[in-house]
């Protein structure tokens, strides 16, 4: 039986699946649209599972804010090409709109609400799509939340402060985006991270061949410098490096209550392939 372009187009619009997959399903079902749709649905979950094992390290971050809270969410695709697709953009906007109207604190809950749409998008654009992480900050009484989103949509930050100084809060969010602090103050740092850095500094000091007392001072000096670089209140303000964040806060009689920063794909290991190997893999498939 001959399959027409209009049949393929109709099935494409009904299912959201690629044109070639639609044509193949119509051929297998002798042009029966309903049976072809059922076949695509039966196959889609298996294909989605396979795609779900692929690394999704691109995408974008979205901000959703209202008078009570602000949410920051990372939505991933495999490639920048897919992240620019209008369907991906629409999906990301739907997620943000949902967060504006529903306070969600757990990424698993958000994932449950969008699982069907996510699976449909995977089938439509042919890439793994993930709702990776979420952070929601409640607007503090008498305070505010500053928001910064980089122009490419792949980096954003939130900062909650205890004063209603929105310009300061926005500047702090921009600063957090630029400097990526590990913690608010030194006592908040992850002990494992600090111990790992200390071990590195000790190994470097031992290579100097100096006395133990001198090496200890070298290590402590490097630890102190490290803490000043990764602790938010100790960092130099990006708009005025000669002024620390701590000094800026004192000047404005303000304290930082919480902050969050997401950069797309940060912390995800991506396998790097050369072009020839990628072409060979596609040919084998």
What's the Cα-to-Cα distance from 170 to each of 103, 162, 181, rounded to whole Å? Answer: 22, 13, 16
Fold type of domain 58-179+254-263: Tetrahydropterin Synthase; Chain A (3.30.479)
What's the confidence (pLDDT) of residue 46?
A: 46
Going by CATH, does the domain composed of 5-52 fall within 3.40.50.1980? no
Query: Taking a C-beta distance cutoff of 8 angstroms, is the pair 87, 93 a contact?
Result: no
Highest mean pLDDT among 177-186, 245-254, 260-269: 245-254
What's the confidence (pLDDT) of residue 239?
A: 95
Contacts of 273 (CB under 8 A, 6+ apart): 281
User: Which of 199-203, 234-238, 243-247 shows the lowest per-residue confidence on average (mean pLDDT)?
Assistant: 199-203
User: Which of 37-41, 158-162, 197-201, 241-245 shows the lowest per-residue confidence on average (mean pLDDT)?
Assistant: 37-41
**6 confidence band (pLDDT: 50, 70, 90):** confident
Helix (H) or strand (E) holding 69: strand 69-77
Average pLDDT over residues 256-260: 97
What's the confidence (pLDDT) of residue 248?
A: 97
Residue 162 has pLDDT above 90, yes or no: yes
Q: Which residue has the higher pLDDT, 119 or 149?
A: 149
Average pLDDT over residues 5-32: 80
Measured CA to CA, the distance from residue 240 to residue 40 in angstroms comes to 58
**155 confidence band (pLDDT: 50, 70, 90):** very high
Average pLDDT over residues 256-269: 92
Q: Which residue has the higher pLDDT, 14 or 196?
A: 196
Average pLDDT over residues 153-159: 97
Domain ranges of the chain: 5-52, 58-179+254-263, 191-228
**Which pTM was predicted?**
0.73
What's the Cα-to-Cα distance from 77 to each of 22, 55, 83, 88, 199, rounded to whole Å? Answer: 23, 8, 6, 8, 36
Planar angle of CA 231, 232, 236, nearest 5 degrees: 105
Contacts of 269 (CB under 8 A, 6+ apart): 55
């Amino acid at each position: 039986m001959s399959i027409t372009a209009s049949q393929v187009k109709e099935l494409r619009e009904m299912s959201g699946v690629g044109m070639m997959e639609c044509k193949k399903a119509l051929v297998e079902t002798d042009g029966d649209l309903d049976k072809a749709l059922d076949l695509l649905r039966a196959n889609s979950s298996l294909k989605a599972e396979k795609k779900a094992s692929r690394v999704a390290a691109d995408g974008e971050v979205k901000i959703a804010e209202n008078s009570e809270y602000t949410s920051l969410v990372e939505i991933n695709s495999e490639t920048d090409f897919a992240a620019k697709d209008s369907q991906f953009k629409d999906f990301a906007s739907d997620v943000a709109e949902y967060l504006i109207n529903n306070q969600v604190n757990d990424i698993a809950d958000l994932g449950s609400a969008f699982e069907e749409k996510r699976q449909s998008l995977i089938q439509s654009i042919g890439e793994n799509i993930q709702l990776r992480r979420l952070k929601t900050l409640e607007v503090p009484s008498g305070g505010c939340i500053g928001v910064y989103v980089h122009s490419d949509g792949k980096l954003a930050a939130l900062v909650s402060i205890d004063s209603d100084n929105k310009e300061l809060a926005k500047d702090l969010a921009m600063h957090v985006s630029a400097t990526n602090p590990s913690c608010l103050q030194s006592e908040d740092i992850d002990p494992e991270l600090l111990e790992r850095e200390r071990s590195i500094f000790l190994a470097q000091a031992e290579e100097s061949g100096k006395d133990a007392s001198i090496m200890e001072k070298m290590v402590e000096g490097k630890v102190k410098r490290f803490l000043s670089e990764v602790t938010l209140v100790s960092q130099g303000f990006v708009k005025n490096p000669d002024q620390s964040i701590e000094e800026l806060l004192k000047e404005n009689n303000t304290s930082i209550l919480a902050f969050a920063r997401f950069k797309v794909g940060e912390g995800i290991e991506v396998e790097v392939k050369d072009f020839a190997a990628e072409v060979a893999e596609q040919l084998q498939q």
